[in-house]
Structure 1
Amino acid sequence: MDADRALLTPRGELVRGCAEALAEKLAGLPVGTARIDLDMSGVHFMDSAGLEFLEVLRDHGRRRRLPVTATRWNGQPRRILELAGLDTTDPLRSPAPHGTPPPAPSAVAREREERLHLLQEEVEQLRQAVASRPVIDQARGILMATYGCTSDEAWHILREASQLANTKLRAVAESLTACAATEGTPPPEEVRIALSRAAARRSSR
């Protein structure tokens, strides 16, 4: 105790039973305690029980109408707070007033954003691949009939032609199917050359 301020210094791990231990400690504080501060620098591990620990402290402060803080987080407990979306300076801090600039994003938040962006790109690629499947299958059929090759060989010809012409595989397939249609237009010259070269390479192997 420092006058009417209580300083608690938890040590070790915040695991099952820690919330109950804190509740017992809080109940034993002297009457007239006007503030409770927790120095968390001695805590090196916590699981979900650590969040219950914080709720006990928060509820005590609300019931007694006194300020409570839990500061100096580090290591694994700090990362748990980040993952939970809590303020790592003091997870018990009241929300900032309206109009206050948001804090700088944490490393975990940036990592989440990057992973989300990669997942969105992957989903978009898969969506395009599914949408392209019918026209690609048609183009493979055309190549199989034209060159007397297997389905796998037709796929390799398409893929190699796409690389040689520096054109998306779907665009190569679309030009082939358009050419095969009634009154269809021939593929662009660079695609025709790329297809011929790719087919010649395949037949020579």
Structure 2
Amino acid sequence: MDHRRHGRSLPELDDRAGSGTELRDEIDQLREAVWSHAVIDQAVGIVMALGGLTPEQGFAVLKDVSHQTDIALCTLAEAVVDWAPSGELPYGIRVCLAGELNKARATPGTQQPPAAAAV
């Protein structure tokens, strides 16, 4: 059977039959990747709502805050998602996020959010 996706051949399942540990490790990695992606998407949505931003702008804000604070993107995203219900966000992240939101809002074509949200 020819397993092709994006022009590359996928390994045959028979080749991995004897490596149950490798399969479990790969499944764990895939689960982590799906979870990380979901958390980042949720954080992008929060940033979009706060700033009246597009998805691309929301992601760019998170990426810039991650870079400036030297916090991994997924860890930052978790903090933003946790902040929504708790109202607690570390001061350094809060200050950096506010600055990046202000920059993004100043971009031509950015819509202002319905109610000005304080960061």
Q: Give the percent of matched residue pairs that are identical in Structure 1 and Structure 2.
A: 29
Higher RCO by CA contacts (8 Å cutoff, separation 6 or greater): 2
- TM-score norm. by structure 1 comes to 0.35
What is the correspondence of 1:120-131 to structure 2 with a 5 Å cutoff?
A: 127=30, 128-131=32-35
Q: Select the structure of larger CA radius of gyration.
A: 1
Instruction: Specify whether residues 150 and 168 from structure 1 end up closer, same or farther in structure 2 by C-alpha distance, changes over 3 A only.
Output: same
Higher strand share: 1
CA distance in 2, matches of 1:154, 1:170: 14
Instruction: Specify whether residues 190 and 148 from structure 1 end up closer, same or farther in structure 2 by C-alpha distance, changes over 3 A only.
Output: same
Name the counterpart of 1:103.
Answer: none
Q: Does 1:195 align with 2:92?
A: no
Name the counterpart of 2:60.
Answer: 156
Higher helix share: 2
CA RMSD of aligned residues (A): 1.9
CA distance in 1, matches of 2:99, 2:73: 15
Name the counterpart of 2:81.
Answer: 177
Q: Deviations over 1:130-176 (max 9, x none)?
A: 33111111111111111111111000000000011111111111111
What is the Cα deviation at residue 185 of structure 1?
A: 4.5
What is the correspondence of 1:59-98 to structure 2 with a 5 Å cutoff?
A: none
What is the correspondence of 1:22-171 to structure 2 with a 5 Å cutoff?
A: 127=30, 128-171=32-75
Specify every segment of 5 or more residues in structure 2 that has no aligned partner in the other structure, as ranges. 1-25, 108-119
Asked if the contact 1:144/1:151 (under 8 Å) is kept, the reply is: yes
Q: Which runs of 4+ in 1 moved over 2 A?
A: 126-131
Amino acid at match of 1:161: V
What is the Cα deviation at residue 193 of structure 1?
A: 1.3
What is the Cα deviation at residue 129 of structure 1?
A: 3.9
Asked if the contact 2:53/2:104 (under 8 Å) is kept, the reply is: no
Specify every segment of 5 or more residues in structure 1 that has no aligned partner in the other structure, as ranges. 1-122
- TM-score norm. by structure 2 comes to 0.59
